[in-house]
Amino acid sequence: MLYKHLSDVTEEEMDKLLNRTGELMDVAETVSSILKDVQEKGDDGLREYTKKFDRADIQDIEVTSEEIEEAMELVDAELLRHLKIAAENIRNFHTAQLPQKTWFIEPSPGIKLGQMANPLASVGAYVPGGRASYPSTALMTIIPAKVAGVKSVVMCTPPGPDGKINPLTLVAGKVAGADHIYKVGGVQAIAAMAYGTETVLSVDKIVGPGNVFVTVAKMMVRDKAEIDFPAGPSEVLIIADESADAGMIASDILAQAEHDPKSVSVLVTTSSELAEQTNDEVKKQADAAVRKEIVDSSLENAAIIVTDTMDECIEISNGFAPEHLEIMVNDEDSVLERIENAGSIFVGNYAPVAAGDYASGTNHVLPTAGYPKIYSGLNIHHFLKYSTIQKITKEGLSSIGDTIISLAEKEGLQAHADSVKLRLND
């Protein structure tokens, strides 16, 4: 783990922290080949790659109602209760994000301008598997789509070697409201949702996180299905001063580290004492980590940087553009109002990233690798499309007629100008 004063951080070390998208194109050839195979072979291609990558022989690609009922029986009642609590909080937050269905303004007599929001027809939710199961991601991707009014929401998630989906993930998909659930993951799942197969329905948009292969696959199918944004290994940046608690900070660093060997955790602080304490706490907590091997690998990407001023902390954060940003300082609001780039922001000592990951209600599907500079985290607007509306009377058209005619004729589009002249001379 990098541990230095900002003045001692080399240009190469800072560049490594700030530029985290390099490996995406390294897998492009492999991803392109799988996409093409699935497009050509359909269900057979899905079975072939599921056997190759997930070591599972699957015949029925879509999950049956009997399998869902079996999963419901296997999930502990108390765990199911907590899943429903999280689902309700997520539903409430995203309902609050809903825009007005239709609105109008009247800038001048006879001219009414407005906008109308409509949901997408179909959405595909990708829920990762692999190192762990992520029922929370099923909630985060499916619930907002349903709140937005999307009629058809399909979920793809990889099966285990036994050909079955983790029961809790399956139940989460059901609780969230998925219309179809498929036992397929990885690049092949993205291909199936983009192009469609004999079993898997094609969709208008694909959302959800995944590894570098899934991320590149999503980027490559945008001619067929829109996507939310690129999302790779999880990351957190923590801005802290002397008021913060080193043990809490270390626990949040490890919480990100246990996701993936490529996860990135960074602390920027004005307190040398806090930095030293956090460094010690990270080592101590890492030794006791359940996923120690993953944590140890991830910590090689971690950094603790001591700055002279809070301005420098904020500058580093805005340059880093973290997926998750934690603010643990005395004057929270003064720091918060100067943040320009972050996927999701957690303010205060008692707002760990885990709260947003599971139960507070905000969405945990977020852009990473600096993409918060240009993308928002998953929200209700990802599932809506907007149409502008004009209601214009003859009086209204008269007030802007000369402007339209003048500009149209200047552009050489006489028919445009004539379409206005005809109406005004009627």
Element (H, E) at 236: strand 235-240
Tell me the three state secondary structure of residue 226. strand
Query: Which listed residue (226, 235, 324, 382) is catalytic?
Result: 324
**Residue 376 DSSP symbol:** P
Residue 411 labeled ligand binder:
yes
Is 37 flagged in the annotation as binding? no
Q: Please pick, among 226, 235, 281, 323, the residue that the annotation labels catalytic.
A: 323
**Any binding-site annotation on 234?**
yes
Q: What are phi and psi of 421, to 5 degrees?
A: -55, -45
Q: Does the annotation list 277 as a binding residue?
A: no
Is 386 annotated for ligand binding? no
Tell me, yes or no, if 11 is annotated catalytic.
no
Is 126 labelled a binding residue? yes
Residue 256 marked in a binding site: yes
Listed in order, strand segments (DSSP E) in 109-214 are 111-119, 122-126, 152-157, 180-183, 205-207
81 backbone φψ class: left, alpha, beta (φ>0; ψ -120 to 50): alpha
Residue 211 is labelled as binding a ligand:
yes
How does DSSP assign 132-157, residue by residue? S--HHHHHHHHHHHHHHT-SEEEEEE
Residue 350 tokens read as 């008692």
- Residue 252 · residue 224 · CB < 8 Å: no
> Which 3 state secondary structure label does DSSP give 162?
coil
In the annotation, is 381 catalytic? no
Report how far apart the first and last C-alpha atoms of the chain are (Å, whole number): 77
Phi, psi of 17 (to 5 degrees): -70, -40
> What CA–CA distance (Å, rounded) separates 98 from 380?
6
418 is written with which tokens?
């004539």
d(CA 339, CA 350): 19
Binding residues: 126, 188, 211, 234, 256, 259, 324, 357, 411, 416
What residues are designated binding site for Zn(2+)?
A: 256, 259, 357, 416
Binding site members for NAD(+): 126, 188, 211
**Annotated binding residues for substrate:** 234, 256, 259, 324, 357, 411, 416
By annotation, the residues acting in catalysis are 323-324
